[in-house]
Amino acid sequence: MRSTYQHLLVQSDGGVLTVTMNRPEVLNAFNDVMLEELTEVMEEAASDDSVRCVVLTGAGRAFGSGQDLRSLAEARASGTRSKVSEHLQKYHRVVLAIRSMPRPVVAAVRGVAAGISCNIALACDMRIAADDARFIEAFARIGLVPDGGGGYFLTKLVGVGKAMELAMLADEISAQEAERLGIVNTCVPSAEFESAVAAFARRLASGPTRTYALIKQQIYAAADSDLASALHLEGELQDMAFETQDHQAAVLAFLQKRKPEYTGR
């Protein structure tokens, strides 16, 4: 992993890789460079066993404001714009890297998460929001459909009826409402945001990492399958979990009335 990026801050500490989107002057809107850098970091984190939890967040007062509309308009005006679906494939690569990453990925959302930035937060495994966070499926405001997996993630998280409302009306959802709807896992006071994110990430980074990868596979497969297939996959995954060092050490720790220490192996 390189040490400097143009539009990301990347910091590794105790198994937690914190990736901060860093274009605060435009509320961390995505331009091509930031998108390419985020893809690179997520793909590298997926194959780096020293990373046991990834936190994705934004610099300044926002998580992200979606596609940079200025660079989009400039590309359209200059005639250099490719078909939107081709451009979207670059976002899809990030979404798929997050979902298939064999370790937990947490979105830490402060301020606004709009458009495709909102949907990249939804692609993460869990979300922590500061109480000033706001979520906007802003697409219909500019005559577009939710992209970056938004239609899929919204439907899974809040159900068809509410997903339809959020996508069509494109209204802002407060952090408290997002917590009530199950869009975010937890909402914390802004003053406690950084320490709450750090504690959550540290806890995940000191958990049974290989088992977390299997749980991720299990939950996402279950969301798209029938009971019989889910039960079949459960058996296969438990065979793998059963052989991890963390499982065996945790059983021993229980029998010896000690707290387990997970090594991630």
Q: Does 137 sit near ligand LHQ (CB under 6 A)?
A: no
**Torsion of the alpha carbons at 203, 114, 93 and 147, rounded to the nearest 10:** 130
Q: Does 68 sit near ligand LHQ (CB under 6 A)?
A: yes
Q: Does 144 sit near ligand LHQ (CB under 6 A)?
A: yes
Q: Does 175 sit near ligand LHQ (CB under 6 A)?
A: no
Which pairs from 171-178 meet CB under 8 Å and 24+ separation? 171/136, 172/134, 172/135, 172/136, 173/134, 173/135, 173/136, 174/133, 174/134, 175/109, 175/129, 175/130, 175/131, 175/132, 175/133, 175/134, 175/135, 176/131, 178/127, 178/129, 178/133, 178/135
In the complex, what is the shortest distance from the CB of residue 229 to ligand LHQ, in angstroms, rounded to a whole number? 33
Q: Does 75 sit near ligand LHQ (CB under 6 A)?
A: no
Burial (CB < 10 A; 0-12, 13-18, 19+), residue 132, is middle
In the complex, what is the shortest distance from the CB of residue 185 to ligand LHQ, in angstroms, rounded to a whole number? 23
C-alpha span between 241 and 243 (Å, rounded): 5
Q: Does 169 sit near ligand LHQ (CB under 6 A)?
A: no
C-alpha span between 239 and 230 (Å, rounded): 14
Count of residues in contact with ligand LHQ, rule CB under 6 A: 24
In the complex, what is the shortest distance from the CB of residue 251 to ligand LHQ, in angstroms, rounded to a whole number? 47
Q: Does 73 sit near ligand LHQ (CB under 6 A)?
A: no
Q: Does 120 sit near ligand LHQ (CB under 6 A)?
A: no
138 vs 213, beta carbon nearer ligand LHQ: 138
Q: Which of residues 238-257 bind ligand LHQ (CB under 6 A)?
A: none
Interaction site with ligand LHQ (CB under 6 A): 26-27, 29, 65-70, 72, 84, 87-88, 112, 114-116, 136, 138-139, 141-142, 144, 147
